[in-house]
Structure 1
Amino acid sequence: MSNVILTESAAQRVQALIAMEGKPNMMLRVAVSGGGCSGFQYNIELDDKTGEDDVVTEHHGVKLVVDQTSLDLLDGTEVDFVEDLMGASFQFRNPQATSTCGCGSSFSM
């Protein structure tokens, strides 16, 4: 069971991106990899395939895919889509992160 949450705002943005791609079977893949300015970085992409170690959940009509290794690092994370004066972006609220970088795309534990 995935404990990664996709907000309604993020789901609406993903649905719009999937519609632009013209591939209704696409899913949102969220992963963590080593790197970034804080040690780990978030990766987000549209994908139409799942692997053996992937966990798939559905949030507000969008399928969210997270591999088992990333799931441990993302437990309790909320993925949101925010539009403000600085622009529009996906943002991650990870309760396990002990620090994040200024850009919000990497973190440390």
Structure 2
Amino acid sequence: MHTLSSKISITLTLNAANKIKSLILPEQRQILKFRIFIIGGGCNGFQYQFKLDDTVHKHDCIIDTLGISIIVDKISIQYISGSCIDYIDNLNESKFKVNNPQAKITCNCGSSFDI
């Protein structure tokens, strides 16, 4: 597990933190963490993926913010460092949305990007 330098960061909005907390039972909060990672594909090259995870791998980075532990693998961190994760919940959509300052191109749905 890596300690992060001040140049590497991912933040959550209060909406995102509250949604993640609502997905994890209180007795699971010490075990389950919120993992964000990227995979190839989508309209523009990379897609964001999210899951609740109880496994931290040797080269994972952990970021603690607003009572949530975020896990990011060492490959994904270089593409999403500096991002802010929000949770959108309205009549049209309910989803996590990544505001990534590194993304040069994003698709209209907001789930894929390119650097």
TM over 0.5, shorter chain: yes
Cα distance per residue 1:30-63 (max 9 Å; x no partner): 0011111100010100001100110111111111
Whether contact under 8 Å (2:62, 2:69) holds in the other structure is: yes
Q: Show the counterpart of 1:29.
A: 35
**Following superposition of structure 1 onto structure 2, how do residues 76-87 of structure 1 map, counting pairs within 5 Å?**
76-87=82-93
Hey, what's the Cα distance between the residues in 2 that align with 1:51 and 1:44? 16
In structure 1, the residue corresponding to 2:77 is in which secondary structure?
A: helix
**Residue segments in structure 1 that go unaligned for 5+ positions in a row:** none
RMSD: 1.4
The structural deviation recorded for 1:88 is 1.6
The one-letter code sitting in structure 2 at the alignment partner of 1:23 is Q
In structure 1, the residue corresponding to 2:108 is in which secondary structure?
A: coil
Whether contact under 8 Å (2:9, 2:63) holds in the other structure is: no
**Following superposition of structure 1 onto structure 2, how do residues 24-63 of structure 1 map, counting pairs within 5 Å?**
24=29, 25-63=31-69
Whether contact under 8 Å (1:7, 1:59) holds in the other structure is: no
Runs of 4 or more above 4 Å deviation:
none
Whether contact under 8 Å (1:39, 1:108) holds in the other structure is: yes
Hey, what's the Cα distance between the residues in 2 that align with 1:3 and 1:64? 10
Share of identical aligned residues, percent? 35
The structural deviation recorded for 1:83 is 1.6
Q: Show the counterpart of 2:96.
A: 90
More strand by share: 1
Aligned length: 108
The structural deviation recorded for 1:84 is 2.1
Once structures 1 and 2 are overlaid, which stretch shifts more, 83-92 or 49-58? 83-92
**Residue segments in structure 2 that go unaligned for 5+ positions in a row:** none
The structural deviation recorded for 1:87 is 2.4
The one of 63, 68, 73 equivalent to 1:67 is 73
